[in-house]
Structure 1
Amino acid sequence: MKLLVTGASGFLGGRLCHALLRHGHSVRAFVRPTSDVSSLPPPSDDVPLELAYGDITDYPSLVAACSGCRVVFHAAAVVESWLPDSSQFISVNVGGLKNVLRAYKEMGTIEKIIYTSSFFALGSTDGYTADESQMHSTKSFCTEYEKSKTIADNIALEAAKQGVPITVVCPGVMYGPGKISAGNILARTLIERFNGRLPGYIGDGNDRFSFSHVDDVTNGHVSAMEKGQQGQRYLLTGENASFMQVFDIAADITNTKRSWINIPLFVIEFYGWLSVLFCIITGKLPLISPPVVYYLRHQWAYSCEKAKRELNYKPRNLTEGLEDIIPWLKKSGLIKY
């Protein structure tokens, strides 16, 4: 059957298109006219992929893209820790989902929606490990991105209560071969680490994130289409670890020296403000911004047992994942060791 993937030119969306094609589906990739589609296979007689141009905030273009598609994978999102114009988070991450739900109601031909939410929509987990039952307190947010994904998550769950066949998947901190973007933040961090621009550990090691390989996440999306239940959330997360542990594993894999200094968070925050100033002057988005530090002051640890049980989700551990991405980064000429 024909499936629509929004955000198909992104890190996750591109890998998701490849996964769906491998499973024998016809894919319509919804991309903006200016998008870099080099991560997608070129459409041909042998590859059942077609490109649909538009924008998730432009409803008529979305409706045209949905025509003839029975399932919509809504993966389009602005994934950044900070933007000069913060209104983009709401217009894209919230408005985009509202447009997908409107298309479902008005067209009457869409049978299922797989919505890519985020672990941030569940809130932090300082001192414990959370599952899908956790709801964000909404008392405070580290970033506008977290706020927008929390609002959208609530909209998705409410739509399911009203009968919309929507299933919510929440990836962890994704990484893996593919686009080096804000959605692949671990790859970007490793590039900084191995190129000497990040000479030490980030903070004191008390941070905790749930790291998930992008190919495991895309397989989880496919399983959510096949087995996921309406109105259910599934955490497509992985091993919970600190960035200090990530750096140590990376050093062991590459037979390089481990870092021996800790860069205090206040230093990283100061650098983040300088990066924001540089962005205002040049227009180039910063790798590190102050909201990144706000994340690092909390823990974001989650259990994916429900996805393992109901979706047959099989996340690789962090060592296995890093053994995949680090050689790829080297082969791509992005790092040396």
Structure 2
Amino acid sequence: MKILVTGSTGYLGARLCHVLLRRGHSVRALVRRTSDLSDLPPEVELAYGDVTDYRSLTDACSGCDIVFHAAALVEPWLPDPSRFISVNVGGLKNVLEAVKETKTVQKIIYTSSFFALGSTDGSVANENQVHNERFFCTEYERSKAVADKMALNAASEGVPIILLYPGVIFGPGKLTSANMVARMLIERFNGRLPGYIGSGTDRYSFSHVDDVVEGHVAAMEKGRLGERYLLTGENASFKLVFDMAALITGTKKPNFSIPLWAINAYGWLSVLISRVTGKLPLISPPTVTVLRHQWSYSCDKAKLELGYNPRSLKEGLEEMLPCHYDE
């Protein structure tokens, strides 16, 4: 099949392009003129454009059977928060309209986020959870919740879309905002993050990037139109992640916890520095707000319907750490 991948130069998107090519599909990658193409396989067809540029998107969709819409701004904080809406909401709107205009596309596989469902705070949620919209930890979360509603409305109107919700993606490879676990572990091992984060009561659903890629391909092959699928994994705290990392690398565990108020103060300082340097901070106040909540999910539906088979957190870290331990 002819497949368009948006977000193709991102951490998830590039690996998805590789797998689709290995499965014998023809892949067209939507890329910007300024994009780093180093992670893309040479066999992909390049379509220059942007999800915020409707005409370039319709041109990219032309003749395609499937669209994987994986493009998104994935940051806890940006100096211009309006960009989250323009890319994450406006980009999806453009994809939906471009598909209607193109008429050849049989299926849209939309990469959402667990943030679109909202925090769980003591429970383990499934695909039935809908964001309560009473509060948003980050503008990214707000934009994904708005886009989620748009995608569900499109599905109810007969648009052939499948919604996927990865957890906290981690694994070897590019150190982007989408690979937060690797970035935090590097901070941990080089001494810039000497202790645990908070009290260890946080919970996240950790997903290995290659499992999420396989989940995307399975959704294309087996997923039911209009359905939501959580592509999550083991629910754990960052304290457990740090402990596992220490065990795997033979290093010492942290012997103290950094309280969230101190991390929050560091976050505000990092934001001030970011406004001067232009380099986005690893920690910001919205990140700390996320850390005050729990994000635990069940991927049983994806296991049953898609054959999704996520590896354990320990297996994933054992694979990832040799790639990043010395950085």
TM-score normalised by length of structure 1: 0.96
How far did residue 93 of structure 1 move? 0.1
How far did residue 19 of structure 1 move? 1.3
- Paired with 1:31 and 1:178, the residues of 2 have a C-alpha distance of 19
Q: Which residue of 2 aligns with 1:96?
A: 91
Matched, 1:60 2:92: no
Q: Which residue of 1 aligns with 2:275?
A: 280
Once the two structures are superposed, residues 72-115 of structure 1 have per-residue CA deviations (whole angstroms, 9 ceiling, x without a partner) of: 00000000000000000000000000000001111211100000
Question: Is the Cα contact below 8 Å between 2:173 and 2:323 reproduced in 1?
Answer: no
Q: Which residue of 2 aligns with 1:13?
A: 13
Identity of aligned residues (%): 68
SS in 1 for 2:276: helix
Matched, 1:224 2:226: no
Once the two structures are superposed, residues 155-180 of structure 1 have per-residue CA deviations (whole angstroms, 9 ceiling, x without a partner) of: 10110010000000000000011211
Matches for 1:232-247 after TM superposition, within 5 Å: 232-247=227-242
- Paired with 2:189 and 2:228, the residues of 1 have a C-alpha distance of 36
- Paired with 1:119 and 1:150, the residues of 2 have a C-alpha distance of 9
Question: Is the Cα contact below 8 Å between 2:77 and 2:284 reproduced in 1?
Answer: yes
Matched, 1:176 2:184: no
Q: Which residue of 1 aligns with 2:189?
A: 194
Once the two structures are superposed, residues 232-291 of structure 1 have per-residue CA deviations (whole angstroms, 9 ceiling, x without a partner) of: 100000000000000000000011111101000000000000000001111111010000
2:202 to 207, 216, 240: 207
Letter in 1 for 2:99: Y
- Paired with 1:203 and 1:318, the residues of 2 have a C-alpha distance of 20
SS in 1 for 2:125: coil
How far did residue 329 of structure 1 move? 1.2
1:138 to 124, 133, 138: 133
TM-score normalised by length of structure 2: 0.99
- Paired with 1:23 and 1:170, the residues of 2 have a C-alpha distance of 23
How far did residue 68 of structure 1 move? 1.2
Q: Which residue of 2 aligns with 1:129?
A: 124
- Paired with 1:93 and 1:41, the residues of 2 have a C-alpha distance of 25
Letter in 2 for 1:223: A
How far did residue 139 of structure 1 move? 0.8
How far did residue 24 of structure 1 move? 1.3
SS in 2 for 1:313: coil
- Paired with 2:27 and 2:172, the residues of 1 have a C-alpha distance of 21
Matched, 1:150 2:111: no
Q: Which runs of 4+ in 1 moved over 6 A?
A: none
Question: Is the Cα contact below 8 Å between 1:8 and 1:17 reproduced in 2?
Answer: yes
- Paired with 2:279 and 2:247, the residues of 1 have a C-alpha distance of 33
Question: Is the Cα contact below 8 Å between 2:81 and 2:139 reproduced in 1?
Answer: yes
Matched, 1:297 2:292: yes
SS in 1 for 2:239: helix
1:161 to 149, 156, 159: 156
2:246 to 234, 244, 251: 251
Q: Which residue of 2 aligns with 1:2?
A: 2
Question: Is the Cα contact below 8 Å between 1:113 and 1:167 reproduced in 2?
Answer: yes
- Paired with 2:25 and 2:101, the residues of 1 have a C-alpha distance of 24
* Count of residue pairs brought into register by the alignment: 327
Question: Is the Cα contact below 8 Å between 2:58 and 2:99 reproduced in 1?
Answer: no
Letter in 2 for 1:283: G
SS in 2 for 1:271: helix
Q: Which residue of 2 aligns with 1:319?
A: 314
Mark the runs of 5 or more structure 1 residues left unpaired by the alignment. 44-48
Matches for 1:24-43 after TM superposition, within 5 Å: 24-43=24-43
Q: Which residue of 2 aligns with 1:270?
A: 265
Letter in 1 for 2:32: R
- Paired with 1:185 and 1:76, the residues of 2 have a C-alpha distance of 17
How far did residue 184 of structure 1 move? 0.6
CA RMSD of aligned residues (A): 0.7
